[in-house]
Amino acid sequence: MARLPARGLLLIAVFSQAACSAPAQPKPAPVTVNPPAPVRAAPVAPVTAAAPAAVRVAPTRPSHLWSTTRLQGIDYVSVDDLAEHYGLKSAWAKTELARTLAEGDRVRFKFETNQRDCYLDGLRVFLGSPVLLHRGDLWVSRPDVIKTIAPLLRPEEHQAHLPPAPPRLIVLDAGHGGSDPGKQNLKLKLNEKDMTLDVVLRLKKVLETRGYAVQLTRSDDSKLAPDQRTDLERRANTANVAGADLFLSIHFNAVEPRDAARVTGTETYVLTPQFQLSSTDNNGDSLTNTAFPANHQDIANVVLGYHLHRSMLQGLKTSDRGFKRGRLRVLCFPACPAALLEAAYLSNDAEAARVGTAAFRQQIAEAIADGVQAYSATLAGLRMAPPLAK
């Protein structure tokens, strides 16, 4: 599948409403991902909201000291070293172009030269830096190994940076509202603000039946503040004041009309780690080195986002636009793990027509709830696992 480089839109996106537009890319085909065995977390009791503790960005302390080589000003780890450390079999899929890491007969990772996305169990995952060819091997940046690859492959090695228990209280944010319609499909008379609210109300019911406590940033057609920046910050602050364990912001996507017919699919965003490039940025800017309060949750965010993205693709059968990173303002300030979900494209008439049906919006709600459940099961499994040997 050919992929074009993403275009830098970061500086605009971080001070605007959450990313509801995307750079034009060739339409990815729907993918079949290899899911882990479904696990249902035990129902949990509602909690009493409490004021969050002060947030401090966690230091980067990898559980393994990787041997690195400096390439293009960044420390890189060889794919062969990754394979050796995790007991995976490394092989060229295409000589000097693509390399796979397999566990038995199952391909876990696929990396491609000069690409910023890779595939984990068939799921498209964006990295902060491109994979490079050097001395006959492919290399992945050390920050990507520490912040993405290692936590997804071995979350048990990162328990110190994960919540100690599965989530109980979840704050749901329906994107846009009031005078801000969000993305629109005028032909089908669909406004993003209406579709997000409908999904959130459905999702609230689904999560509550599964034992979670749920709070909303908005329950009607309104904004939280007249100006956009304050509105976005108040959405995150709702989660902080409530002492939430998760914050999920629901959105729908759009591209320019010239690309609308060919761009469809689902994207999932979590906050970009400090010093790394967001998925829509190739150069960096004044915010790249900024440590936002929510960067304290980098490891939890990647585990959460991965499960949400996998469940969305499985439940909706949409094209895989990727699990991505972005410094979107609504993701910069939650004191708990947080993700922003772009369920589908309103700019594509066929996909928008699906969004316009109650049945598809219910599917979205169920798929998101399944992602929350999978994340909860992962955390619960870590609590029951024996401690790692030192």
- What digits encode the pLDDT tens for the residues 97-139? 999 999 999 999 999 999 999 999 999 999 999 999 999 999 9
Same domain, 278 and 137: no
315 vs 312: CA distance, rounded Å: 5
Q: Taking 90 as the threshold, does the pLDDT of residue 269 lie above it?
A: yes
Same domain, 141 and 168: no
pLDDT at residue 127 in the model: 98
Residue at 48 is within a domain: no
Residue at 84 is within a domain: yes
- Choose the final residue of a domain: 107, 123, 153: 153
How many domains, in total, are found in the chain?
A: 2
Rg (CA), the chain: 20
Phi, psi of 346 (to 5 degrees): -75, -20
pLDDT at residue 19 in the model: 41
Same domain, 305 and 184: yes
Reported as a pLDDT band with limits 50, 70 and 90, residue 388 is low
At residue 50, what is the residue type? A
At residue 251, what is the residue type? H
pLDDT at residue 2 in the model: 41
Same domain, 119 and 75: yes
Same domain, 170 and 143: no
Instruction: Tell me if the pTM is above 0.95.
Output: no
112 vs 96: CA distance, rounded Å: 8
Same domain, 127 and 174: no
- Choose the final residue of a domain: 153, 171, 198: 153
177 vs 194: CA distance, rounded Å: 8
Same domain, 142 and 165: no
Reported as a pLDDT band with limits 50, 70 and 90, residue 285 is confident
- Domain of residue 74: give its range: 69-153
- Choose the final residue of a domain: 133, 153, 173: 153
pLDDT at residue 116 in the model: 97
The residue among 297, 294, 175, 179 whose CA lies nearest residue 237 is: 294
Residue at 246 is within a domain: yes
Residue at 36 is within a domain: no
Task: Give the mean pLDDT of 278-297.
Answer: 94
Residue at 2 is within a domain: no
Quote the mean pLDDT of the chain. 87
Least confident stretch, 9-18, 144-153, 266-275: 9-18
Residue at 290 is within a domain: yes
Same domain, 103 and 250: no
Reported as a pLDDT band with limits 50, 70 and 90, residue 387 is low
**Domain with 137 in it: what CATH number?**
3.30.457.10
Whether 4 and 22 have beta carbons less than 8 Å apart is answered as: no
- Please, what is the end-to-end C-alpha distance for the chain in angstroms? 42
Q: Taking 60 as the threshold, does the pLDDT of residue 22 lie above it?
A: no
Q: Taking 90 as the threshold, does the pLDDT of residue 146 lie above it?
A: yes
Same domain, 176 and 314: yes
Ramachandran class of 87: left when φ > 0, alpha when ψ lies in -120 to 50, beta otherwise: left
* Chain Cα centroid distance, residue 5: 19
Whether 349 and 259 have beta carbons less than 8 Å apart is answered as: no
